[in-house]
């Protein structure tokens, strides 16, 4: 793996990358409270099969792309980041993978830019439309999502999460994330301004826009022990995908799928990419076109 600095109008995004520069491009989006290193097992597996993989630290997680206002973390701007990053990499079309908040951004990006997203893979996070329906109709999902309201407090949430050597923040990983990774996340988010920026994703308010039905080939992976997303929203997601759709349930696995069940996720992801190897604008065209940078 190599480290990249990707310059955009928003700022400079830190990223990790692996795989041959000419390989089929895959972008991986992490969630809260993690960094791009959450994907290290997937990066290694994809690179070993010849894919060119880039995983950025997203807006707020990268010190060089850390605006201070909550409104600077609106969903439309997070989608713009995906477009700006891939354009800077010279990717005309790419496979998109997201987990947790990164999954939400992936759903919105696939809806807004189906001409550029070759395939979509989302881990844990249901389609935003399915989640909205469940929040209206399912008491279980409302209870699961109540933490998002609590975390909008500022600076009370930061103080609670970082108190006593970040004891509360560490509990979020539920013992399912490797200890060295959890320690690295805590160190990263304990730096000045980092946790506030990450929490601004929750404080930005409702998404600025509407999302429709997804047309690109989609793999959705949900786990039965996910504390944030219940079964109703997960199963409702199928109604929001018109393209080829595969729904996989991992039983007995928590929210932290990429790190708790990496071999299973890697297998599903590689199968999905192989199945849809010639989708959309990338058919019979190079995977990387007119790059500004060849990392």
pLDDT value at position 205? 87
pLDDT band at 1 (very low <50, low <70, confident <90, very high): very high
What residues does each domain of the chain span? 2-282
- CATH 3.40.50.1820 correct for 2-282: yes
d(CA 25, CA 133): 33
Q: Return the minimum-mean-pLDDT range out of 103-107, 145-149, 218-222.
A: 145-149
pLDDT in tens, 24-83: 999 999 999 999 999 999 999 999 999 999 999 999 999 999 999 999 999 999 999 999
State the chain's mean pLDDT as an integer. 93
What percentage of the chain carries pLDDT values higher than 90? 89
Burial of 160 (0-12, 13-18, 19+ CB in 10 A): middle
Q: Which two tokens stand for residue 90?
A: 């010279």
Instruction: List C-alpha distances in Å: 205 to 99, 103, 214.
Output: 20, 17, 23
pLDDT value at position 26? 98
pLDDT value at position 135? 95
pLDDT value at position 34? 98
Give this prediction's pTM.
Answer: 0.93
The CB-side HSE value for 213 (13 A sphere, CA atoms) comes to 10
Mean pLDDT, residues 177-194: 97
């Amino acid at each position: 793996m190599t480290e990249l600095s990707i310059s955009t109008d928003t700022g400079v995004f830190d990223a990790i990358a692996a795989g041959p520069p000419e390989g089929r491009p895959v972008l991986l989006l992490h969630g809260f409270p993690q960094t791009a290193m959450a994907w290290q097992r997937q990066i290694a597996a994809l690179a070993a099969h010849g894919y060119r993989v880039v995983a950025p630290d997203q807006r707020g997680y990268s010190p060089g792309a850390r605006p201070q206002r909550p409104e600077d973390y609106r969903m439309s701007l997070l989608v713009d980041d995906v477009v700006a990053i891939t354009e800077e990499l010279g990717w005309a079309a790419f496979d998109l993978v997201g987990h947790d908040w990164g999954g939400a951004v992936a759903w919105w990006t696939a809806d807004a830019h189906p001409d550029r997203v070759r395939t979509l893979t989302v881990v844990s996070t249901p389609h935003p439309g399915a989640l909205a329906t469940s929040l209206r109709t399912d008491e279980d999902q409302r209870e699961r999502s109540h933490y998002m309201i609590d975390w909008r407090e500022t600076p009370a949430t930061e103080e609670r999460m970082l108190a006593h050597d970040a004891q509360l923040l560490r509990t979020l990983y539920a013992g399912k994330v490797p200890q060295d990774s959890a320690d690295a996340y805590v160190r990263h988010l304990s730096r000045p301004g980092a946790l506030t920026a990450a929490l601004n994703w929750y404080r930005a308010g409702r998404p600025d826009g509407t999302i429709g039905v997804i047309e690109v080939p989609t793999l959705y992976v949900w786990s039965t022990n996910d504390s944030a997303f219940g079964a109703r929203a997960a199963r409702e997601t199928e109604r929001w995908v018109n393209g080829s759709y595969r729904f996989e349930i991992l039983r007995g696995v928590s929210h932290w799928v990429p790190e708790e069940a990496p071999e299973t996720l890697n297998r599903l992801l590689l199968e999905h990419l192989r199945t849809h190897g010639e989708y959309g604008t990338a058919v019979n065209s190079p995977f990387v076109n007119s790059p500004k940078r060849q990392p």
